[in-house]
Amino acid sequence: MQIKDFYKKLGIRIKKLRIEKGYTQEKLAEKSGISLDYLGKIEVSINRPGLISLLKISNALEISMEELFKTL
């Protein structure tokens, strides 16, 4: 898998999990401490989040990092 494909799938996965949780982008951004702009760009694979950002997102979604990467 190419890097760009990985980040595209990751963004789709984060969006799916966010929607399943009933969160808006604004709510997830607030809960994770990540800016709304940055989160939006992660979901559409413009930004490539680092490990700390992914940990913040998984914590805000109340899931493990393992669950975040599941099915990628």
Mean pLDDT in residue range 38-60: 98
Q: What is the CATH number of the domain that holds 42?
A: 1.10.260.40
Q: In which band, very low, low, confident or very high, does the pLDDT at 6 lie, cut at 50, 70 and 90?
A: very high
DSSP 46: S
Assess whether pLDDT exceeds 90 at residue 24.
yes
Q: Tell me the C-alpha distance between 34 and 6, whole Å.
A: 21
Q: How many domains does the chain have?
A: 1
Q: In which band, very low, low, confident or very high, does the pLDDT at 26 lie, cut at 50, 70 and 90?
A: very high
* Domain span holding position 25: 3-69
Mean pLDDT in residue range 61-68: 97
Assess whether pLDDT exceeds 90 at residue 1.
no
On whether the CB atoms of residues 33 and 56 are closer than 8 A, the answer is yes
Q: Tell me the C-alpha distance between 35 and 25, whole Å.
A: 10
Task: List alpha helices for the chain, DSSP H.
Answer: 3-21, 25-32, 36-43, 51-60, 65-69
pLDDT score, position 69: 95
